[in-house]
Amino acid sequence: MHQYRSKKIFIYFFLLFFLGSIQNTNLNINNFKNNYFIKVSGLGEIENQKIIKEIKNSNLENIFFMKKGQIHEIINNNSLVESFKIFKIYPNTLDIKIEKTIYLAKINKEKKIFIIGTNGKLLKNQPYNNELPFIFGDPKINEFLEIKKIIDKSKFSFDEIKNLYFFPSKRWDLELQNNIFLKLPRDHIRDALDHIFKIMNEKHFEKITSIDARINNKLILND
């Protein structure tokens, strides 16, 4: 009889321990689902919070088991993002550090003014970006980024550019901050820019208003 009671007590104790363990496990999982932290830095406060909200609205049960592509897609959908790094800080924190894109120029697309960033995306225009150069014409974004890269490699600085003009022939004209117009060839643009730069720094060419470099190895001034 005593042995029977001992077995019965042992069974009760085992059930109590087993059920308690299950309840505690479920409690810990639920707490982890609800008590995680997401930090985003690099953008303005509004945009940082916007990304945090979008990640939290993704119905993730555990941020550490969320597919990497899901988070990347959410962040990349923000046109202000140039690049980013994600740090998983255990047990319950996701730290996202973002590098904001640099504004390069303004362009008219479908009767709306947008800004082109270094990330190759179109961004909404803001009133305080009035000093950015304006692109006239309808180039593809990669065509603008290519001419920008050529300018950066030349002796000119992109900061010297006031406006850019793109033609259906795929040719560019540049208006400098000093109001001088540069008519560029389709090919060998960097060589043409370096030649123009040299001419512009010679004293007896101080009063030029335009330089036409469309003909190979020839510059026409004030045409």
How far is residue 109's CA from residue 112's CA, in Å, rounded to a whole number? 5
Q: Is the pLDDT of residue 8 over 60?
A: no
Per residue in 14-24, pLDDT tens?
444 444 433 33
Q: Is the pLDDT of residue 31 over 60?
A: no
Asked if 114 contacts 122 with a C-beta cutoff of 8 angstroms, the reply is: yes
* pLDDT value for 63: 60
| In the chain, domain spans | 1-35, 37-100, 103-221
Q: Is the pLDDT of residue 106 over 60?
A: yes
Give the percent of the chain with pLDDT over 70: 77
> In CATH, which of 1.10.3720.10, 3.40.50.11690, 3.40.50.11030, 3.30.980.10 is domain 103-221?
3.40.50.11690
Asked if 44 contacts 101 with a C-beta cutoff of 8 angstroms, the reply is: no
Q: Is the pLDDT of residue 179 over 50?
A: yes
* pLDDT value for 7: 53
**Of residues 81 and 217, more confidently modeled:** 81
Assign residue 110 a region (left: φ > 0; alpha: ψ between -120 and 50; beta: otherwise): left
* pLDDT value for 83: 95
DSSP for residue 159: G
Confidence of residue 61 (pLDDT cuts 50, 70, 90): low
Range of lowest pLDDT (39-43, 88-92, 170-174, 178-182) = 88-92
Domains 37-100 and 103-221 are alike in CATH topology: no
Question: Which sign does the torsion angle of CA 5, 7, 13, 15 carry?
Answer: negative
In angstroms, how far is CA 148 from the centroid of its own chain? 17
Confidence of residue 201 (pLDDT cuts 50, 70, 90): confident
Residue 101, judged by CB atoms within 10 A of its CB (0-12, 13-18, 19+), counts as buried
CATH class of the domain comprising 37-100: alpha beta
Q: Is the pLDDT of residue 68 over 70?
A: no
| Average pLDDT of the chain to the nearest whole number | 83
Per residue in 133-145, pLDDT tens?
999 999 999 999 9
* pLDDT value for 17: 42
Q: Is the pLDDT of residue 200 over 50?
A: yes
Task: Show the beta-strand stretches assigned E in the chain.
Answer: 37-41, 81-89, 93-100, 103-109, 112-117, 122-124, 134-136, 161-166, 172-176, 181-183, 210-212, 220-221
Q: How many helices (H) and strands (E) does the chain have?
A: 5, 12
* pLDDT value for 14: 46
Q: Is the pLDDT of residue 203 over 70?
A: no
Name the pTM for this structure: 0.76
Rg (CA), the chain: 31
